[in-house]
Structure 1
């Protein structure tokens, strides 16, 4: 008669050996990852839960991650950009293959157990089945604990640029265009396998860029830092009316590499590294460059290609620019000239500074400041020829030559005071004034009102033909008007263009005259006059953009005296 305890005991002993899974015993259910590059004292989160990290002598730290599934690492430190990385345990742990070596052992043990438990009616299959299932059970234990998988990354480089501090009083900054000067087919870098180049990577093939996405990155970053970013809208004035500055970017150099540590994709660990160089321009609303500087940003992502490393590097370059002392100083200056903006172009010709240079804004008087009145001799009314005063009005308009280009100006007194736009003179203390009779004089900037985009100049010349500033009155919509100024080139002084008053508009809390008269670069500061020669406004801006034509603006002439605190004497 068979002994029933023999197959039972042999099966239990065999199962107890085989169910001790190899990967769980040898590798464990967790894996240690080294994190370097973060500022000292950073807090490390894994799947949104803070974890205790073992500090290392080189300033890094070690964390233990569960091998099963995905671990999202987030590193935080006050004053620095958060670092995020998602690690996936998607590689097979080689130790788990030891379980398959136990299958023949289980077969042998099962056969022996089956033979020992045989009876007259035939062999018992219970021990044989148990011997086969035991290795599978071991594999199941490894899968349950996650020990059958591993992270290919053993070290994370946390690139955490310092965050710039938001400027007090929340300056308004709009995200301008991001111009990518890299052409399709330009070489960016290499695809390297075990540090050996296997393929050359070209822009437009391995990596492509959406400029609108980058512009959104700039806009979102500015918002996160506390700046006032105007919301885009359908109105042509929506962006123009709010932002004091526009931040523009130009990219000419992208270094982009993909690295693999194994020729076999299933076993390889991929790293995509990217470094970008961006030239940033902080432009005020008068289209003058306040700060221009080139910065670089880098990023590494544990993935095969993609745009994540590039976008992160671009954002890091932006943080570096916004943290520059020249940038923060410019954004902290509430008196920087400001009038036009995205879509609204100041109507003067100007040149920007060179690549890589940095300049600061010269402080100017704000409209809110109390200014002592300036006594100005009142001009006599113009004497028109017949019913046309345009010729007399043209003699009241001069060309203003600055260090950045040229604009126009209107004499308002016979003793040499003239009015122009603040954005025409910019930061210049003196300018050259070309009179209608061909003479040239040196003009001094004696007063600025950047909020109204007005400047008062003085030349040491007397007996000039000048406009008499109006003290009030409403300009009729639809009435004929003439723009007098120096468009495009200094040789075109006292050019006259005809149009009508299209309307009166509220823009950023100010009233402007809208006109369809032709306005070009150099017209800024020039005169908008009636047929009688009466001064109606000071030309200062026009709308530009695809499909936009014949929309210009002028500051009403009856606002000039109050804006510049002028006291007229007879």
Structure 2
């Protein structure tokens, strides 16, 4: 299936392959001799030659490139953090079937031929949205028709490659990894941050009590869901997460007094997961910003709309647990309670100054552990290239 003319593809990155097959589980039929006489059963995993993750990554990359996709090219000065793609792919081998024939070789290792068929579940994870955005099941196999050294290993690896090829042809995968010409241009326009945006009253003023600051925090409704945002300038600019606005050019804003307005997505920086939205502030007061580093142990407050709009203006309290570097980016770690819907909302210090933006939480099995992460406000300003107006 060809890539549409003028479209661009996003780089792929396979980061994990696991198997649901149990040790010693029968997965195929073993035969022997030039006439492939039935000899016994094959147990998982293959014993003669281990198949490494590297082998599977290599065949995955080869098939993706052949389909018009592929991993990001590694530049001379790229760091591991720079090379991280927007999407990570994981593969789970759910079942395997095979019929392998072996023939002793007097001059070296035994020769093998045969077929392997794999069922693979693929999951595509968005590092920006911090969630799985696509799950695809494929079933494909490969037949090694001629006796060869490690022919059984070749059959399994090639079967995995055929599943990668099938993945690249699915609509769910292509929807994520192919951007149309107009989408690509719009994304470039929104993420270009070479020229600064000058904001009136950015970070200035005397912060009111935390209870009064809920009036400057809004609920954001976008096509991908709901989140929060907060006013940072008197001319109507608000900060939120890139994963909250998604690819929308316009979003709907619900203010704490029930007023609704439209917001224009002005600038997005996906890697740092921050976005700038502009709307009419209707006289509301922007929040005061603090770019000085946070201190572990200091009290903090989060404002947002956990789970649903009806809970807009919820204030929770905690402490700064630590300052972390994760995937090459700085984060404030806190035990302050936040959940879905808080994303994009402000993290305030005890004086009511914004020190961070709610981003994501550590939730194994989707159970909150009071380990939540916030983007330092200074990073948001730097990555979006926001400056105070003179």
Interval containing the TM-score (normalised by the shorter chain): 0.5 to 0.7
Task: Identify the residue that residue 288 of structure 2 maps to in structure 1.
Answer: 468
Give distance in 2, aligned partners of 1:501 and 1:281: 33
Task: Identify the residue that residue 312 of structure 1 maps to in structure 2.
Answer: 157
Q: CA 1:250 to 1:463, structure 2 compared with 1: closer, same or farther past 3 Å? A: farther
Task: Identify the residue that residue 248 of structure 1 maps to in structure 2.
Answer: 90
Give distance in 1, aligned partners of 2:387 and 2:99: 67
Which residue of the other structure, out of 178, 194, 202, is the alignment partner of 1:371? Answer: 194
* CA-to-aligned-CA distance 1:260-313 (integer Å, 9 cap, x gap): 9xxxxxxxx99642233535344332236677766534234769xx97477324
1:541 pairs with 2:360: yes
- Whether contact under 8 Å (2:231, 2:237) holds in the other structure is yes
Relative contact order, higher structure (CA 8 A, sep 6+) = 2
Give distance in 1, aligned partners of 2:342 and 2:189: 24
C-alpha displacement of 1:420 = 0.8
Q: Secondary structure at the match of 2:157?
A: helix
The answer for unaligned runs of 5 or more in structure 1 is: 1-169, 231-238, 261-268, 327-352
Task: Identify the residue that residue 360 of structure 1 maps to in structure 2.
Answer: 178
What are the equivalent positions in structure 2 for 1:164-563 lying under 5 Å apart?
173=13, 175-176=15-16, 178=18, 180=20, 217-219=55-57, 221=59, 243-244=84-85, 245-250=87-92, 256-257=98-99, 272-286=114-128, 287=130, 296-300=140-144, 308=153, 311-317=156-162, 320=165, 324=168, 359-361=177-179, 362-363=183-184, 364-365=187-188, 370-378=193-201, 381=205, 384=208, 389-470=209-290, 472-545=291-364, 549-563=369-383
The answer for unaligned runs of 5 or more in structure 2 is: 1-9, 75-79, 103-110
- Whether contact under 8 Å (2:29, 2:100) holds in the other structure is yes
Q: Secondary structure at the match of 1:395?
A: helix
- Whether contact under 8 Å (1:365, 1:449) holds in the other structure is no
TM-score by length of 1: 0.49
* CA-to-aligned-CA distance 1:407-466 (integer Å, 9 cap, x gap): 221211244321111122222222222222233322221101223221101224422232
Give distance in 1, aligned partners of 2:324 and 2:211: 29
* CA-to-aligned-CA distance 1:80-119 (integer Å, 9 cap, x gap): xxxxxxxxxxxxxxxxxxxxxxxxxxxxxxxxxxxxxxxx
- Whether contact under 8 Å (1:277, 1:317) holds in the other structure is no
Q: CA 1:314 to 1:408, structure 2 compared with 1: closer, same or farther past 3 Å? A: farther
C-alpha displacement of 1:474 = 3.1
Q: Write 1 or 2 for the structure with the bigger share of strand.
A: 2
TM-score by length of 2: 0.68
Give distance in 1, aligned partners of 2:364 and 2:71: 26
- Whether contact under 8 Å (2:332, 2:374) holds in the other structure is yes
- Whether contact under 8 Å (1:367, 1:452) holds in the other structure is no
Larger radius of gyration: 1
Q: CA 1:377 to 1:298, structure 2 compared with 1: closer, same or farther past 3 Å? A: same
Q: CA 1:548 to 1:525, structure 2 compared with 1: closer, same or farther past 3 Å? A: closer
Give distance in 1, aligned partners of 2:17 and 2:217: 35
C-alpha displacement of 1:520 = 2.4
Give distance in 2, aligned partners of 1:365 and 1:495: 35
Pairwise CA RMSD: 4.9
- Whether contact under 8 Å (2:60, 2:164) holds in the other structure is no
Give distance in 2, aligned partners of 1:258 and 1:177: 23
C-alpha displacement of 1:214 = 7.5
